[in-house]
Chains A and B, each alone.
Chain A
């Protein structure tokens, strides 16, 4: 069974990965752009935030810069694809591996500790809440604000143009939409959200580490697909809410797996379980038919 602290811990990590799932929703779903940059932009956000906080910057300002750095990384991927005509998947892999070196350059060392630094969380600890509830509340606010902004953006003219670009690029171009620009903007936004998540994660974990990005894409994708299986994403709002629900569900599943000694499950089995869950969600007919269309090879 779950202890209270483990439960809040799952919520906290789930909310942060909810931001990652927003980003992946933007690239994979809205733009139909398989983007692996996130494995690099997550630690990039952490690195930028950690370095700026160590230099005495306001932690919120540092977090904002982390999101901007993430956007820049995403823009690079999209430009490689749009302007240089490199296959989208390959472009994102190129940026991802480049970011490993860049993150090391930014940090100077592979691990920056933030344990005794002033972070976005510090002022909240004095407000009389339980220690483990603080990050949940704060991250909930960040996620809700991001969700509303994203939802509003998707309904704006630019947002609609971006959705049209993903749905049918040729048609969108015929309507006078600069599809290349839309892809760059969308992938940049997506990675900005992931950079924001990385910055918040480093601050709640007490350290930024270059290895933090391992598997972010898979977990984000698992969250996205899991959420869509629970809440049919018939509208943008529902799709965004599904992202958050999926991310929290994934984290709760891990928390239960950590506690389910009786079932014989252990943390080390999680990678396998994730792979199985994602595969099932994609393959099982009737879960979501259009998932199949997106993730398996076209029959034609």
Chain B
């Protein structure tokens, strides 16, 4: 009995695989995302909008599949298998764990990753310039050098920079390592406070008081979720807080030179279009974010004990008024 059921099941699934036929001119793009999260959702939106703008419209000439693994790696793996089984034209993988599971499952299908900080360490590509296989994409590696430039422009005397980060987040840990190296090259020092969950962010921020001249936050998901805790410590102890993403300036950080994840998604979408139009992923270099916007919040600066210069405010793309 059980044997019969199993046989029927296998038969049915094989039949389904065989009868899966695409309409002649419909392109298929599958998007897998490790978890729902404002930044990652924005990437997904960006990809969709870019595709639509370039003439790939859902329901007309495009079939778009989208699944989220809800943070569960076993489900991410099954989503990857599902997509590979349907052999779409392109698989878009958002964030490192999703990209790795797709890379393990997809042999010949082009994959474009997005929101992956270090694709080299994640072994997705052979090099940034020439990925070499069926995988390429857009990295959300922060322009750390430009961020330190900005910080030094506002606070030329700052030597000890504090940060709060989650040692369990792959992207964040990669950034912290890079930040430490780059700061050391300029004779500056990084002081770290670790927080493995949002409830620990406040304590980690407090541990920095008295040891640092300024605080700089990366795009660490855990820390950004509780950015207010760091900002309140900054205000009370007169330590200016800088951020890597512009949204945190609206919540009360002094300044950020950042990009938004919606544009990140748009850039990913543009790569997807190039693949759909026949470009080979093996020769497409991994891209990083091109557009950077300076956001400043002079009032937050006052609360943290610094005055932003006029020419800096002139340069800003957006001056955030209140924010608390």
Q: Which residues of A contact B (CB under 8 A)?
A: 1-10, 12-13, 17, 100-101, 104, 109-111, 113-116, 131-132, 201, 204-207, 209-212, 214-215, 219, 251-252, 254-255, 258-259, 266-268, 270-271
Total number of residue pairs linking A and B with CB closer than 8 Å:
152
Instruction: Kindly list chain B residues whose C-beta atoms are within 8 Å of the C-beta of A207.
Output: 97, 100-101, 104, 122-123
Partner of B67, one of A110, A209, A214, A267: A267
Q: Known A3-B20, A4-B14, A255-B82; judge A209-B170 contact (CB<8 A).
A: yes
* A251–B75 alpha-carbon span in the complex (Å): 9
Instruction: Kindly list chain A residues whose C-beta atoms are within 8 Å of the C-beta of B81.
Output: 5-6, 8-10, 12, 132, 255
Instruction: Kindly list chain A residues whose C-beta atoms are within 8 Å of the C-beta of B20.
Output: 1, 3
Interface range, B side: 35 or more
Partner of A267, one of B70, B124, B168: B70
* A132–B104 alpha-carbon span in the complex (Å): 10
B78 touches A219 (CB 8 A): no
Q: Known A13-B77, A115-B124, A254-B78; judge A206-B103 contact (CB<8 A).
A: yes
Instruction: Kindly list chain A residues whose C-beta atoms are within 8 Å of the C-beta of B105.
Output: 5, 9, 132
Partner of B196, one of A100, A201, A219: A100
Q: List 12 A-B contacts (CB under 8 A).
A: A5-B17, A5-B105, A6-B85, A110-B168, A111-B97, A113-B121, A115-B122, A115-B124, A132-B84, A201-B74, A204-B104, A209-B73
In the complex, whether B167 has a CB less than 8 A from a CB of chain A is yes
Instruction: Kindly list chain B residues whose C-beta atoms are within 8 Å of the C-beta of A110.
Output: 167-170, 173
* A196–B268 alpha-carbon span in the complex (Å): 37
Instruction: Kindly list chain B residues whose C-beta atoms are within 8 Å of the C-beta of A13.
Output: 74, 77-78
Q: Which residues of B contact A (CB under 8 A)?
A: 9-10, 12-17, 20, 36, 67-75, 77-82, 84-86, 96-97, 100-101, 103-105, 107, 121-124, 167-170, 173-174, 196
* A167–B248 alpha-carbon span in the complex (Å): 56
* A132–B12 alpha-carbon span in the complex (Å): 18
Q: Known A3-B17, A209-B170; judge A214-B71 contact (CB<8 A).
A: yes
* A168–B284 alpha-carbon span in the complex (Å): 65
Residues of A contacting B: mostly: helix
Which residue among A5, A100, A254, A255 has the maximum number of chain B CB atoms within 10 Å of its CB? A5
* A270–B79 alpha-carbon span in the complex (Å): 12
Instruction: Kindly list chain B residues whose C-beta atoms are within 8 Å of the C-beta of A8.
Output: 81
B77 touches A205 (CB 8 A): yes
Instruction: Kindly list chain A residues whose C-beta atoms are within 8 Å of the C-beta of B71.
Output: 211, 214
* A36–B10 alpha-carbon span in the complex (Å): 35
* A108–B15 alpha-carbon span in the complex (Å): 46
* A6–B17 alpha-carbon span in the complex (Å): 10
B67 touches A254 (CB 8 A): no
Sort A-B residue pairs by CB-CB distance and give the 3 closest, nearest first: A9-B81, A3-B85, A1-B16
- Least CB distance from B93 to A in Å reads 12
Which residue among B14, B75, B79, B103 has the maximum number of chain A CB atoms within 10 Å of its CB? B75
